[in-house]
């Protein structure tokens, strides 16, 4: 670690960035609450509450049962995806890694689409128990199952080979996508529409039960992530060097993989396939304030949440009264910005 | 001989069939009484049964006129606002906007489509649904493997405050009858109109 002064500088800068990002998230949250197709104004509602007037039932519904759960779900999913991306890039020491790489997305997609197309074949007791959450439950279980499978494939004699995991992940994704193709073939018109829109992601239909189901899993994963910061910083030197400086390499790998599987699995279950957040957020932050995971991970959570809030505001108002799938918005907004940053900072790519 | 609806695909397959000399008739898709009669006449002429087709067309036309007039009379000056929900998977409501079969049949049955401002079947914003105030939610029964129950449907926040939820008005109909736009559409119009205006208003 030469250039300590330089490193110090970036750390201070990253901390200032944390404060800025926290402020940004607050501004975005208020904006998101006040912005929507119904024209309900959050200021009007606050004024009403302050003056002791009762909110109109419609305002109450829009604010507390539609926008507020959606706001929380958006923050959770955005933070989960961005932090998962940062963890995967750290673990695989590969800038292209994203949560999809451990097979979570492929497994979750396959399971969700199976539930959409073949869900009706399940016994009635299972159907009535799962109710409307069948697809979400399937996505979560599918994500977990595929991650554990990949993990077993890549682990030999207690050592997990990240290279094997990466390659097996590509194979598993290809297989899952082929099976999705078969199911697409079997699906009727209505299921086809459901599964297409599911793959493009959406935070519509956010309800308090969904927030309460996803929150414990995602918050636990987010709380666990900073514990991995030192280990991931060490891993940047290579696995052998990390082992020599006293990093419990295998434990870091286990924890990183399980954390990502939990956070992404829960996020995908409630929101479908939302791409790009996991790649673009950590990279922008690395370019802005360096690759130290101690600050990168919390900053990624904050920026990921703000980015997804912005994308969701666009998704639910640009075509109002219809809604645009949010995955389209994140890709359309994210991809050009990302390219522009890469081209502008060509020299800084080495990190 | 192959009779297909407009937009049948994939294009390459259709081209192969046409080149192979299979006679291929494409029926235009138009969601109106005129469109139904057109399909009947085109099918008739494709099969060389013009007279039979014309007889059926006259019968269906009269039937549709009668059903439409009865539906308009039942609606009176107070048409109900109807929201067609294609699917409500995971609390996301996919509604039928303009230029859809659902929009057309709702109008024919004397209702007003509550989903205004977009074409075809799209996910509709929860807030827009809450402010659209549908009196009735209309759904299809067939293909309903993972059917959303009425209670689950009306508990979705977007629908919770609507007149439809207050009165528990969910109408479920056979999809082909409702959206097929064929000889049975008059029957569909009558059933839908009865479901909308029958009972309470007598």
Per-residue pLDDT reduced to its tens digit, B11-43: 888 888 888 888 888 888 889 888 999 999 999
Contacts of B156 in chain A (CB under 8 A): 205, 207
Q: How far apart are CA B115 and CA B85, in angstroms?
A: 10
**Cβ atoms A146, A173 nearer than 8 A:** no
Q: Smallest CA–CA separation between A47 and chain B, in Å?
A: 21
In sequence order, the β-bridge partners of residue B27 are B5
Calculate the average pLDDT of chain A.
84
Query: How far, in Å, CA of A57 to CA of B166, rounded?
Result: 13
- What distance in Å separates the CA atoms of residue A333 and residue A152, rounded to the nearest whole number? 36
Look up residue B46 and give its two tokens.
């494709």
Torsion angles phi and psi, residue B27, rounded to 5: -95, 130
pLDDT band at B142 (very low <50, low <70, confident <90, very high): low
CB–CB of A121 and B145 under 8 A?
Answer: yes
**Average pLDDT estimate for A118-136:** 75
Quote the pLDDT of residue A5: 46
**A130 to chain B: closest CA residue:** B146
- The whole-angstrom separation of Cα A27 and Cα A21 is 10
Q: Given this model, what pLDDT does residue A225 score?
A: 93
Q: Strand B81-87 and strand B112-113: pairing?
A: parallel
B158 contacts A325? CB cut-off 8 A: no
The 10 Å Cβ neighbour count of residue B15 is 11
ipTM for the predicted complex: 0.78
Which of A77-91, B151-165, B188-202 has the least mean pLDDT? B188-202
The residue behind tokens 């790009």 is: A276
Domain B2-74 classification at class level: alpha beta
- Domain residue ranges of chain B, discontinuous segments joined by +: 2-74, 76-201
Average pLDDT value for residue range A11-21: 88
Select the residue from A36, A61, A132 to test the B interface by mutation, using most B Cβ atoms within 10 A: A132
Q: Do domains B2-74 and B76-201 have the same CATH topology?
A: yes
Q: Which of A36, A62, A207 sits opposite B91 (nearest CB)?
A: A207
What secondary structure letter does DSSP report for B135?
S
A220 pLDDT higher than 90: yes
- Domain of A281? 4-350
Nearest residue of chain A to residue B119 (CA atoms): A322
* Inter-CA distances, A336 with A216, A308, A319, B48, Å: 34, 16, 21, 58
Q: Indicate the pTM of the whole model.
A: 0.85
Q: Would the CB atoms of A319 and B118 count as touching at under 8 Å?
A: yes
Identify the pLDDT of residue A204: 84
Strands B94-96 and B81-87: antiparallel
Q: Is the pLDDT of residue A38 over 50?
A: yes
Judged against a pLDDT cut of 60, whether residue B90 lies above it is answered with: yes
Per-residue pLDDT tens over the stretch A267-289: 988 888 788 888 889 988 988 88
* CB spacing of A120 vs B160 below 8 angstroms: no
Task: Please give the tally of structural domains in chain A.
Answer: 1
> For residue A248, how many other CB atoms are within 10 A of its CB?
13
In angstroms, rounded to a whole number, what is the distance separating the alpha carbons of residues A125 and A60? 35
A205 touches B: beta carbon within 8 Å: yes
Q: What does the pLDDT average to over B112-139? A: 91
Q: What is the CATH number of the domain that holds A173?
A: 1.10.3470.10
B76-201 CATH fold = Rossmann fold (3.40.50)
């Amino acid at each position: 670690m030469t250039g300590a002064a330089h490193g110090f500088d970036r750390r201070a800068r990253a901390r200032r960035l944390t404060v800025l990002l926290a402020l940004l998230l607050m501004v975005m949250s208020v904006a998101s609450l006040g912005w929507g197709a119904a024209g309900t104004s959050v200021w009007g509602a606050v004024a009403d509450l302050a003056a002791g007037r009762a909110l109109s039932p419609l305002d109450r519904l829009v604010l507390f049962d539609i926008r507020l759960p959606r706001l929380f779900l958006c923050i959770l999913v955005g933070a989960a995806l961005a932090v998962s991306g940062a963890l995967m890039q750290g673990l695989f020491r590969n800038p292209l890694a994203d949560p999809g790489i451990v097979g979570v997305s492929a497994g979750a997609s396959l399971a969700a689409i199976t539930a959409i197309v073949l869900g009706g074949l399940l016994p009635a007791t299972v159907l009535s128990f799962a109710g409307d959450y069948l697809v979400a439950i399937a996505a979560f279980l599918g994500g977990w199952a595929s991650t554990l499978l990949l993990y077993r494939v890549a682990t030999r004699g207690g050592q997990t080979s990240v290279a094997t995991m990466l390659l097996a992940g590509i194979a598993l994704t290809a297989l899952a996508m082929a099976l999705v193709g078969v199911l697409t073939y079997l699906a009727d018109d209505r299921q086809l529409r459901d599964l297409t829109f599911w793959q493009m992601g959406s935070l519509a239909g956010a309800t308090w039960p969904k927030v309460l189901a996803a929150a414990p899993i995602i918050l636990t994963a987010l709380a666990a992530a900073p514990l991995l910061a030192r280990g991931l910083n060490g891993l940047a030197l290579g696995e052998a060097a990390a082992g020599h400086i006293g990093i419990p390499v295998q434990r870091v790998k286990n924890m990183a993989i399980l954390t990502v599987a939990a956070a992404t699995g829960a996020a995908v279950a409630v929101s479908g396939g939302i791409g790009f957040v996991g790649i673009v957020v950590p990279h922008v932050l690395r370019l802005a304030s360096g690759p130290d995971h101690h600050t990168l991970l919390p900053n990624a959570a904050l920026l990921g949440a703000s980015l997804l809030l912005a994308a969701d505001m666009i998704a639910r108002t640009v075509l109002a009264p219809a809604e645009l799938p949010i995955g389209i918005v994140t890709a359309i907004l994210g991809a050009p910005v990302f390219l522009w940053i890469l081209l502008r900072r060509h020299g800084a790519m080495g990190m | 001989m192959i009779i297909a609806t407009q937009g049948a695909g994939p294009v390459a397959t259709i081209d192969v069939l046409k080149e192979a000399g299979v006679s291929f008739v494409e029926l235009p898709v138009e969601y109106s009484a005129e469109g139904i009669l057109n399909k009947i006449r085109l099918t008739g002429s494709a099969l060389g049964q013009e007279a039979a087709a014309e007889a059926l067309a006259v019968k269906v036309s009269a039937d549709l006129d009668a059903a439409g007039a009865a539906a308009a009379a039942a609606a009176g000056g107070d048409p109900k606002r109807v929201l067609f929900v294609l699917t409500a998977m995971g609390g996301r409501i996919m509604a039928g906007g303009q230029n859809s079969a659902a929009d057309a049949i709702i109008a024919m049955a004397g209702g007003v489509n509550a989903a205004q401002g977009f074409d075809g079947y799209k996910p509709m914003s929860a807030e827009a649904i809450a402010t659209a105030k549908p009196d009735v939610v209309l759904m299809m029964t067939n293909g309903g493997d993972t059917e959303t129950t009425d209670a689950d449907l009306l508990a979705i926040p977007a629908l919770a405050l609507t007149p439809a939820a207050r009165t528990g008005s969910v109408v479920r109909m056979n999809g082909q009858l409702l959206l097929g736009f064929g000889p049975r559409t008059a029957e569909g119009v009558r059933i839908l109109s009865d479901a909308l205006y029958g009972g309470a208003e007598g």
